[in-house]
């Protein structure tokens, strides 16, 4: 073998080794962990956001998705969607109840238990998932059905994740709540972590079962990618608040009414349409009782009719009652588990404001009707002028700078005398001497 051949062989070996080294270094890159924050009630916007972030983390090859959670609860329908996404995820999902002072109550219990790994920060609590009533008393049969349904749901989750099934059911039936240390002892969560670095260290090397098989987490010294909600997602989250939806609906209705009664203003109409569109989106994401919505619309009709029809305030009273009843009935939860309702303060302020507005408009209308006409022919009656020719009994007078043919009702009146218009007939004023 020649020296040239030996040189080529060694060159090939060196290149091969370099390729293997580079490939190994590329394969041993820094792991990435995606982190999102859910702070507030659970609604459709929340479920959509979590679904998108699970898909995004999978596409970006993240080791896992960490959901930093703090919630008082929310809609059962949205909770089921989130739990379904987590149970069927190919990517490990970690729920981290944090920071200190946070809670995973009601819907948060279901979401935490559904995580591949459940972690709590010191000073947090979990529990109180019992169905509640929202402003109206539920009969015992409906309450029992709601409780049994929620209990079966949470048992399924706990069995799937090998957590404390008995406590999970008690959290629903007896509204039990635990601190982070108690939750760890009762096998409700997997560990406690003070910071995100502690969390990554605690879960490193853990084996979890995903929908695609067993995954060993490699999170030590992982690069953390914090995903913030976009402006649109934050807006949709705000609009999912029933109080915001209600306010937008009322503003939209009043904006259109202003435009209809003052054609050409444009601005109130634009604001009204925008507010109604936002309200329709909000109502679409919420469990709406259409009987309540109908009562609110009927109340607005009664307020408008009060302006057109003299009812001595009866239509306004009916409108206020209809508005209050409709507002109370507007949000119809699909289950007593749902933690969402309209604020009494918002309802009272809206009803009071509507009543005050229309009463003011009606009062203005009544006062306008009682005012003496100041323009046109009727506006001359009772006005003071002076004679510019003697009235015997006919002559000329000046009123409002205009010269009128006049006839005296009190005999002869000399020129330059102050007179008062009493009647108008066939463009001839009937006048008498003005009283001083």
For the chain, which domains are there? 29-229 (3.90.226.10), 234-370 (no CATH), 377-433 (2.40.50.140)
Q: Residue 127 pairs with which residues in a beta bridge?
A: 105, 177
Using one digit for the tens of pLDDT, what is the confidence trace for 216-246? 999 988 999 999 988 888 888 887 788 888 8
Show the CA angle centred on residue 152, arms to residues 123 and 144, nearest 5°. Answer: 95
Tell me if 351 sits within 8 A of 327, measured CB to CB. yes
Specify the pLDDT at position 25. 36
Beta pairing, strands 223-227 & 213-216:
unpaired
- The 3-state DSSP class for residue 414 equals coil
Tell me if 74 sits within 8 A of 242, measured CB to CB. no
Specify the pLDDT at position 137. 45
Question: Residue 189: phi, psi to the nearest 5?
Answer: -125, 175
What single DSSP character describes residue 429?
A: E
Query: Strand runs (DSSP E) across 109-176, as ranges?
Result: 117-120, 125-127
Using one digit for the tens of pLDDT, what is the confidence trace for 116-175? 999 999 999 998 765 544 344 445 676 677 788 888 999 999 999 999 999 999 988 888
Q: Can you list the residues of the chain whose pLDDT is less than 50?
A: 1, 14-15, 17-28, 132-138, 334-336
Question: Residue 86: phi, psi to the nearest 5?
Answer: -70, -40
Tell me if 56 sits within 8 A of 27, measured CB to CB. no
What single DSSP character describes residue 421?
A: E
What single DSSP character describes residue 117?
A: E
Residues 6+ apart with CB under 8 A from 36: 49, 50, 53, 65, 66, 67, 68, 226, 227
């Amino acid at each position: 073998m020649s020296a040239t051949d030996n040189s080529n062989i060694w060159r090939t070996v060196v290149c091969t080794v370099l390729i293997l080294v580079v490939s190994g270094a590329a394969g041993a890159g820094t792991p990435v962990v995606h982190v999102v924050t859910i702070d507030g009630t659970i609604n459709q916007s929340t479920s959509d956001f979590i679904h998108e972030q699970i898909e995004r983390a999978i596409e970006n090859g993240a080791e896992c998705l960490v959901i930093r959670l703090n919630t008082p609860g929310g809609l059962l329908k949205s909770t089921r969607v989130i739990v379904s996404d987590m149970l069927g995820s190919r990517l490990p999902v970690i729920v981290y109840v944090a920071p200190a002072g946070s809670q995973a109550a009601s819907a948060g219990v279901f979401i935490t238990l559904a995580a591949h790994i459940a972690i709590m920060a010191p000073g947090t609590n979990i529990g109180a998932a019992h169905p509640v009533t929202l402003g109206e008393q539920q009969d015992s049969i409906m309450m029992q059905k709601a409780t049994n349904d929620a209990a079966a749901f949470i048992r399924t989750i706990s069995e799937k994740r090998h957590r404390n099934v008995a406590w999970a059911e008690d959290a629903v039936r007896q509204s039990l709540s635990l601190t982070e240390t108690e939750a760890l002892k009762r096998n409700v969560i997997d560990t406690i972590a003070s910071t995100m670095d502690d969390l990554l260290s605690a879960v490193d090397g853990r084996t979890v079962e995903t929908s695609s098989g067993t995954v060993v987490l490699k999170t030590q010294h992982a690069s953390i990618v914090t995903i913030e909600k976009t402006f649109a997602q934050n807006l949709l989250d705000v609009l999912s608040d029933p109080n915001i939806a209600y306010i937008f609906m009322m503003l939209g209705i009043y904006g259109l009414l202003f435009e209809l009664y003052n054609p050409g203003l444009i601005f109130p109409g634009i604001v009204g349409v925008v507010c109604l569109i936002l309200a329709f989106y909000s109502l679409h994401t919420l469990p709406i009782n259409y009987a309540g919505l109908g009562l609110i619309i009927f109340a607005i009709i009664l307020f408008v009719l009060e302006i057109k029809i003299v009812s001595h305030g009866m239509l306004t009273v009916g409108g206020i009652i209809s508005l209050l009843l409709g507002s109370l009935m507007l949000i119809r939860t699909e289950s007593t588990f749902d933690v969402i309702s309209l604020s009494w303060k918002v309802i009272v302020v809206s009803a009071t404001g509507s009543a005050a507005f229309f009463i003011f408009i009606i009062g203005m209308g009544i006062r306008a009707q009682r005012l003496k006409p100041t323009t046109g022919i009727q506006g001359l009656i009772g006005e003071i002028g002076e004679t510019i020719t003697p009235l015997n009994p006919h002559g000329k007078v000046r009123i409002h700078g205009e010269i009128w043919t006049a006839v005296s009702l009190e005999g002869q009146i000399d020129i330059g005398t102050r007179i008062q218009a009493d009647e108008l007939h066939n463009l001839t004023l009937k006048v008498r001497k003005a009283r001083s």
